[in-house]
Chains A and B, each alone.
Chain A
Amino acid sequence: MRKKTYCFNPILLNDLKRFWILSAFYSFILFLLVPLKLLNLISEHVNIGELINSNNFIFTYEGFMGLQPLIIFLIAIFIAVALFYEIQNCKSNDHIHSLPISKKDIFINKVLAGEILIFIPCFINYIITEIIVLQGTIPVHHYKIINYFIMTFINTNILFLQGVFFAVVTTNVFLHVFVSFAINLVPFFIVEMGNDLLNIILPERLSESISLYNLKYILPLSYMIEGRGVDTITIKNIILYILSMALLFLLSYILFIKRKNEDINKTITFNFLNDVFKYTTTFISMIIFSLILSGYFKIGVTFTVINCIIGSFLGYYISEMIIRKELYVFNRLKGYFIYLGIAVVFLILLLNTDLIYKHTPPRAEEVKEVYISTQYNEDKINSSYLIKDKNTIKNIISLQKYLIGFKNNRGWENQVYIVYKLNNGDMIKRYYRGNFGNEFITQMEEISKNIQYKKLNYDILNIDFSDIECIDLNYGKDVYEVTDKEKIRKIYDIVCDGFMNNKFNNLGNNYNTFVNFKIKNDALKKYNKKYGDIRIYVNINLDEDTINNLIKK
């Protein structure tokens, strides 16, 4: 029977022999970041408190003036480029595949070499750090050290495996590095900039904040750049990190095995990925180009759409140039026109129908409750103070219809946020800003007469008098602190009465007194506040006699 042959050692040893210098460099970088800093702290004889603070600083990714994540990325990607260049270059690719080594062994050996090159620096520096800490002069928990080095190994590893993936699918080193970097930022970028772009096209739209940070398991770079620190090792984290590494490894492995050796002459070795690359570049270029120009010139929708067309064309043309390795690719723009057609249809549907984006207000019977205010407050939107009164809801819908007529009004005089919570669970968020005239004030005043509006917008109406600790009264240029119970009661009554009887509202600016209520700390729980303090600010009108009466000692 024929003996099964493995070729682990030759390729692995050869790669380690050729690229050990990268590992040495990484060891040096990590040494500068942790052990050397700790040694410096010891030699400076700083006190324990400072040491603990410094330790918190050391065991993060904020080293090298915040560039540490990029340095880790570059090291990981250089290791991937160094190891996998052999399968990206025509000559070396032919050479390695002519040798009696299976594709499986080539891939596994190279990944293993990368793992070793990354592991050794982390391990050596972990040992050095532990030795320093064991001297007993620095109060650092051991879990913090091991957590830091394990997470550094994991993050470097994921970035390395991303590099491996792109080494398999592209043969151009520049593209390899660029795409490996961009992939970490693109999802965040698309969400952030896509939101901004939509807000230019649909100014009344209120973008949802979308958290993409669970992508840290597979795209750790932006998480590291954001300065979120070193993730804590938990069972869940470890499982997710291992799964993402396994996913990257398997995906790269399958693609490498499937990759035809003769496709080394193509920029991207799989035809289906050409389209992914092309249309992603087109889309991102469209967003960037239009946002930069629209943001710079601050011009409206038409100009933005023209910029989108130019931006997407540039993205498509450049990606086609990269794929074809030709400068002149005007005869290959069919895909761009299809993209443009789809984009135009999407834009028409977006701007003129309710299919993608609801332009028209909902029907009153569809609405369960509404938030309306001149200020945006996420806590209030999720509170129980929303307006449920059907007549007021109808008035709000009528107001919104009025505001829709002011589509391109870019003034600053009035603003209003309207958030509908519908019976079917959907939410519609809108923001209108502009010079809407007296009709807007009239309609808002009508809405503001509703008690639910008052409870929603004037926090003081939801506070018990007994929970008020003191009041700052800003009148003219002076500030008076009121601590006297009776005077507090009086101000409280004036303010509540003023709001309830529509003497004051938050729509105008002609008020002479600014009142700041401070709530007692032991009442925080009652108002669902776990920490900090509660301060309520209101603008009111007080006559001079009342003021004099209140500030009299």
Chain B
Amino acid sequence: MIKVEGLYKNYGDFEALKDINLTIPKGSVYGIIGSNGAGKTTLLKTISGIYKPDKGFAKIEDEDIYENVHVKKRMFFVLDDPYYYHNYSIKEMASFYKSIYESYSDEKYENLKDVFKIDENKKIKNLSKGMKRQVIIWLALSLNTDVLILDEPLDGLDAVMRQKVKKIIFEEVLERQLTVIISSHNLRELEDFCDHIAIIHSGSVIKEKDIDELKNNIFKIQFAFSGDVPKELTEKLDILYYKQSGKVTTFIVKGDRKKAEDLILKYEPILLDIIPLSLEEIFIHEMGEAGYEKENILL
């Protein structure tokens, strides 16, 4: 289990991370989403031990990560812009990682060779952006570490390859309880991939939840009454968004789904439809609540 508690990170006078508290269970796929400049990459770099926390801690199994070689051997960080040694082929890069990570598996490397179908003797610098991405994921999975931290890992991959990569990672999670921490701007991508989500804004975590719980907690209701919308509804429901279109009213509501349904049914609506929100919509509304400009993006 990875635990982050009271974590602060500053860049000079700028507070990049403020009092971050996260619990990442073993064997989970933990998504970190947030607006641009929210602090996602800083958080990942702190969790991976690149940055030293100014205050608080990031630990794996109760051991600090920063400058802890033994802990870091159990994790690998796929940077948003992966780095390769100039002139190195995939094979040479693999051999470099092999010399550092005791958990490296030749067998896994060979197996994944068939999945990615890239010539291992090719110089990485000559590959396309998407292929470079595939290479780093290939190498990352071959290391067989307990934790994999991925910063925008699917950027530049085609749709087929994205599904393949996700599938392989899922298998790793299921087979050997691999813990994956992933940040992405592509929320649709995370929706069917993560089991936990943390929404980060201006350096703070504004929501950290199991994804199903999060989805149950925020939903869209469309209804229509023969008369006006009863006042009790607007008073008793935690409405994030309200839209009236003729007789049809749309609410985005936060809270207990059943209670909200019962409350509306009490007034005998002529139409009632409760629709789950996508992760992207949840993100937009949560961010809106945190003060992020959403008017322009809501349709």
Contact = CB atoms under 8 A, between A and B. Distances in A.
Interface of A: 2, 5, 7, 9-10, 13-14, 18, 91-92, 94-95, 97-103, 105, 260-262
- B: contact size bracket: 20 to 34
Contacts of B11: 262
Interface in B30-82: 42, 45, 48-52, 67, 69-73, 76-77, 79, 81-82
Contacts of A101: 69, 100
B69 A262 contact: no
12 contacts: A5-B73, A7-B69, A14-B99, A18-B87, A91-B83, A94-B50, A95-B83, A98-B76, A100-B70, A100-B100, A105-B69, A260-B52
Given A18-B85, A100-B72, A262-B11, A94 B79 contact: yes
A219 to B, nearest CB: 32
B116 interface: no
B99 to A, nearest CB: 4
Contact of A98 (B42, B49, B87, B99): B49
B101 interface: yes
Nearest to A7: B100
A519 to B, nearest CB: 71
B100 A261 contact: no
B96 interface: yes
A94 B83 contact: yes
Most buried by B among A2, A10, A102, A103: A10
A98 B100 contact: no
Contacts of A2: 70
Contact of A261 (B50, B73, B85, B86): B50
A95 B70 CA distance: 17
Contacts of A100: 69-73, 100-101
Nearest to A6: B69
B96 A14 contact: yes
Contacts of B87: 18
A230 to B, nearest CB: 36
Given A91-B79, A99-B100, A5 B52 contact: no
A98 B69 CA distance: 10
A100 B52 CA distance: 14
Most buried by B among A2, A14, A261, A262: A262
Contact of B48 (A5, A14, A98, A105): A98
A13 B92 CA distance: 12
Given A2-B70, A98-B48, A100-B69, A10 B96 contact: yes
A289 to B, nearest CB: 32
Most buried by B among A7, A100, A262: A100
B40 to A, nearest CB: 14
Given A7-B69, A100-B69, A100-B100, A14 B85 contact: yes
A99 B67 contact: no
Nearest to B16: A262
Contacts of A10: 96, 99-100
Contacts of B96: 10, 14
B51 A261 contact: yes
Interface of A is mostly: helix
B77 A98 contact: yes
Contact of B45 (A7, A18, A94, A99): A94
Contacts of A97: 49-50
Contacts of B83: 91-92, 94-95
Most buried by A among B42, B51, B69, B77: B69
A92 B96 CA distance: 14
Nearest to A263: B11
A190 to B, nearest CB: 32
A14 B85 CA distance: 10
A91 B151 CA distance: 13
B64 to A, nearest CB: 13
B52 A102 contact: no
A98 B83 CA distance: 11
Contacts of A103: 67
Interface string B82-122: 11011100000000100111000000000000000000000
A98 B73 contact: no
A253 to B, nearest CB: 15
Interface string B176-191: 0000000000000000
A465 B191 CA distance: 111
Contacts of A92: 83
Given A13-B99, A102-B67, 7 more contacts: A94-B79, A94-B83, A98-B49, A101-B100, A261-B45, A262-B45, A262-B51
* For the complex of A and B, 8 pairs with smallest distance between CB atoms: A100-B72, A95-B83, A10-B99, A100-B73, A98-B77, A91-B83, A97-B50, A100-B69
Contacts of B81: 91
Given A10-B99, A14-B96, A5 B79 contact: no
A94 to B, nearest CB: 6
A356 B11 CA distance: 43
A95 B72 CA distance: 13
A99 B79 contact: no
B100 A95 contact: no
Nearest to A104: B67
Most buried by A among B49, B71, B83: B83
Contacts of B72: 98-100
B86 to A, nearest CB: 8
A18 B48 CA distance: 26
B144 to A, nearest CB: 13
Nearest to B100: A10
Nearest to B88: A18
Interface in B194-253: none
A486 B284 CA distance: 117
B212 to A, nearest CB: 32
Nearest to A96: B83
Contacts of B73: 5, 100
Contacts of B85: 14, 18
A95 B11 CA distance: 19
Contact of A9 (B49, B51, B67, B99): B99
B232 to A, nearest CB: 52
Nearest to B85: A18
A392 to B, nearest CB: 67
A98 B11 CA distance: 19
Contacts of A261: 45, 50-52
Contacts of A14: 85, 96, 99
Contacts of B77: 98
B94 to A, nearest CB: 13
Nearest to A95: B83
A263 to B, nearest CB: 9
Contacts of B70: 2, 5, 100
Given A10-B99, A14-B96, A100-B101, A5 B49 contact: no
B50 A102 contact: no
A358 to B, nearest CB: 47
Contacts of B50: 94, 97-98, 261
B96 to A, nearest CB: 6
Contacts of A18: 85-87
Contacts of A91: 79, 81, 83
A36 B229 CA distance: 99
Contacts of B71: 100
B191 to A, nearest CB: 27
A98 B67 CA distance: 9
A95 B83 CA distance: 6
A9 B96 CA distance: 10
A91 B79 CA distance: 8
